[in-house]
Amino acid sequence: MITAYLASEKIISYKGDVLTGPAEVDGYERLTVAQKKLFKKFLRNFYGAWEYPEKHLPIKIKYVPGKIAYLRVDFEKGEWLHIITPWQWF
């Protein structure tokens, strides 16, 4: 799958659908610059992994400190993921 960023940070799916951009996710504004960069890279990889990325839109993001710190992202349908790197999430 190929996704593209527009200048406004909107993300367009390969079908032409406008997907949720990083700055549109609740909590994004509270992240540090490094955390925002991580989330942007993750989101591009994450959307690219799905045939229908519009079915997996994030609604909330937050930083969780700890021995292994991570970003927690929640999705519309109640799923959530822990983001460690742009390519590693669970």
Where do the H-state alpha helices sit in 2-90?
33-48
- Tokens read off for 4: 């593209």
47: containing domain? 4-89
Q: Are 71 and 88 in contact (CB under 8 A)?
A: no
Is residue 89 pLDDT above 80, yes or no? Answer: yes
- The 10s digit of each residue's pLDDT in 44-86 is 899 988 888 888 899 999 999 999 999 999 999 999 999 999 9
Mean pLDDT of the chain: 88
Half-sphere exposure of 65 (CA within 13 A, CB side): 2
- Tokens read off for 2: 């190929």
Question: CA 13 to CA 6: how far, in whole Å?
Answer: 11
DSSP β-ladder status, 18-19 and 80-85? unpaired
pTM assigned to the model:
0.85
- Domains of the chain: total: 1
